[in-house]
Amino acid sequence: MNKICIIGVGLIGGSFALGLKNTQKIKIVGFGRHEAHLQEAQKLGAIDTYSLDIVTALSGVDLVLIATPVNSFKNIFEMIKPHINEQTIISDVGSTKGSVIATAKEVFGAMPENFVPAHPIAGKEQSGVDAADGALFNNKLVILTPTENANTRSVTQVRALWEALGAKVEIMDDKTHDDLLAMTSHLPHMLAFSLMDYLTGNGKNVLDYAAGGFKDFSRIASSDASMWRDICFNNSSDIIKHIKGFQGSLDKIVDFIEEGKTQEIEQLFIDAKMARDNWLKDK
Amino acid sequence: MNKICIIGVGLIGGSFALGLKNTQKIKIVGFGRHEAHLQEAQKLGAIDTYSLDIVTALSGVDLVLIATPVNSFKNIFEMIKPHINEQTIISDVGSTKGSVIATAKEVFGAMPENFVPAHPIAGKEQSGVDAADGALFNNKLVILTPTENANTRSVTQVRALWEALGAKVEIMDDKTHDDLLAMTSHLPHMLAFSLMDYLTGNGKNVLDYAAGGFKDFSRIASSDASMWRDICFNNSSDIIKHIKGFQGSLDKIVDFIEEGKTQEIEQLFIDAKMARDNWLKDK
């Protein structure tokens, strides 16, 4: 692989680029709407060059990585479609995968064989290329969700790029990905947003009585609102399914309390603590 | 005030003692069941002396502070009752207040006028006197919930001790306290325990796909199970009320997603982020 175009050189696109510049001899071209951001990315050494013109940006590239918000993908697919050829590998870093594949099928007519959807399970609270870090994906999981018709060469090459950044790559179908992420990421975010909504609805000074533990618990409620709005609507059925499933777990705690089941509730808390402590050991 | 007895010299009792030793000329006697813990507390300078005998421990004290788990209070009240006089101030650091007052009324016949229930809104993940810190309550909130018959002198003296440790003291009734803490502390803990319960119930490898944000969000699920079992049953009606109220907030998100209300959901997330960011400014 000689040349890559990154569309959207922010935190994730910029970290991917920086990591590759540190380890590989690949020319990286940035594309975006804001020249100042691209200039900054170039100054930071993430990209070799940039263009505001998509034809120039895609010229001669082996791979195009789309690292913009998922809701922009339809426009981007339409924009790149006339300027890529059958050899160009397409990948993305969107946090929902079923919706990306559906949009690709809509724009390209069918899922391109060389499109390898990806989702790095890594991030930061900050955004923008200033926060980019070439080591962001080191020892982190990256999930690829190629469709059945995917070209093996494309999958292998995308996998190799992430592995060059130190990532552990796992391949699964998009439905499994979206279901898993609804549980481990989307549901906790809904709980955190919802808790702030509930507490602020109960009088504005309730939060004055929140202590240290609340700071960590509520951190993800400070996440970007428009990004999470898009995730909600790009993975709506899984999110709704798991909110309702979670409410069943909450109902169980209410039942235990109402029925005076002290042993059952203590066991639930012991198991929860053990699951969390065991999970933490691997982190 | 010349002499204080602390029953249960762990994280909270030990931090209270260390803070006082740093700022006040008060003799502090430790009482507990485990001599090794009391020896450690003495070695750390938290207490001047200790006794395993309650009569000796309470001899000549102006105040007794109960810093053991709330479910031990009935036994402790019964144990100290014969050995204190009308001048002895009683206080505690239990995290539920209605149940403490109810237990005191049960054992003493009526709420003692010199009993000033307290709850410092501060803590650590660790427990035990080894984790004690004389600065733990500096700039932290301490809530006092004296009953209507409380002796003003006792309230003033308990307040002054906490203020000597740098705490901000607020007085409210026990019902208000328990309702507020159910929202800001008990509810988030139930959500964290419940989330671990839900995710582990969905296949044991779901957690493999959890990322960095999950670590902070789930931290409080690593809290002590028996302590939280007791909190559940000592503040059951407020906890159930707020779990159900919170489920209403979750239902609202489900409705917004199902009805395609993108603007409403984004506004909810914006407001949540703003509330959390504003709260954080004061921390």
The residues with which A117 forms a beta bridge, in sequence order, are: A92
Q: Which amino acid is at A155?
A: V
Model confidence at A60: pLDDT above 70: yes
- Mean pLDDT along residues A82-100: 96
* Cα distance between residue B93 and residue B116, in whole Å: 10
Strand B3-7 relative to strand B27-31, pairing? parallel
Considering chain A, what is the average pLDDT of its residues? Answer: 95
Share of chain B above pLDDT 90, in %: 90
What average pLDDT does chain B have?
A: 95
Q: Between chains, do A249 and B195 touch, taking CB under 8 Å as contact?
A: yes
pLDDT category at B204 given cuts 50, 70, 90 is low
- Laid out side by side, the sheet with B89-92 consists of B49-51, B27-31, B3-7, B63-66, B89-92, B115-120, B141-144, B168-171
Residue A171, pLDDT score: 98
Optimal mutation site among A171, A209, A255, A263, interface B, most CBs of chain B within 10 A: A209
CA distance B78 to B61: 17
- pLDDT for the residue A281: 87
Chain A residue numbers touching B244 (CB-CB < 8 A): 254
In this prediction, residue B202 has a pLDDT band, given cuts at 50, 70 and 90, of confident
Across residues A42-51, what is the average pLDDT? 97
Which residue reads 């998509």 in tokens? A54
Contacting A residues, span 202-241, partner chain B, CB-CB under 8 Å: 202, 206-226, 228-229, 232-233, 236, 239-240
Judge: B183–A192 Cβ closer than 8 Å, yes or no: no
Please check the confidence at residue B283 and state whether its pLDDT lies above 90: no
pLDDT per residue as tens digits for the range B219-261: 999 988 999 999 999 999 999 999 999 999 999 999 999 999 9
Q: Does B187 touch chain A (CB under 8 A)?
A: yes
- Binned at pLDDT 50, 70 and 90, residue B203 comes out as confident
pLDDT at A127: 82
Q: Which residues contact B248 (CB under 8 A, 6 or more apart)?
A: A198
B166 — alpha (psi -120 to 50), left (phi > 0) or beta? left
The angle at the Cα of A129, spanning A123 to A132, to the nearest 5 degrees, equals 45
Establish whether domains B3-172 and B177-281 are of one fold.
no
Per-residue pLDDT, averaged over B192-203, amounts to 93
The fold adopted by the segment(s) A3-172 is: Rossmann fold (3.40.50)
pLDDT number for residue B75: 98
- Measure the CA–CA gap between A235 and A227, rounded to whole angstroms: 12
Best CATH choice for the domain B177-281 from the list 1.10.3660.10, 1.10.10.1100, 3.40.50.1970, 1.10.760.10: 1.10.3660.10
User: What number of C-beta contacts closer than 8 Å exist between A and B?
Assistant: 278
What pLDDT is recorded for position A204? 65
Contact B196 A272 (CB under 8 A): yes
Task: Indicate if the pLDDT at residue B281 is higher than 90.
Answer: no
Average pLDDT, integer, range A265-281 = 94
Q: CA A144, CA A118: separation in Å to the nearest integer?
A: 4
Domain boundaries, chain B: 3-172, 177-281
Place of tokens 């070209």: A151
Residues 6+ apart with CB under 8 A from A30: A5, A6, A9, A13, A17, A38, A41, A42, A46, A47, A49, A50, A51, A57
| Min distance A20 CA to chain B CA atoms (Å) | 22
User: B269 — contact with chain A (CB < 8 Å)?
Assistant: yes
The 10 Å Cβ neighbour count of residue B220 is: 24
Which pLDDT belongs to residue A218?
93
What digits encode the pLDDT tens for the residues A191-241?
Answer: 999 999 999 998 768 999 998 789 999 999 998 899 999 999 999 999 999
The two structure tokens encoding residue B245: 């109220």
8 Å CB contact of A272 and B220: no
Selection from B149, B236, B115, B154 nearest residue B187 by Cα: B236
> What's the average model confidence in pLDDT over A243-268?
97
Query: Are the beta carbons of B257 and A194 separated by less than 8 Å?
Result: no
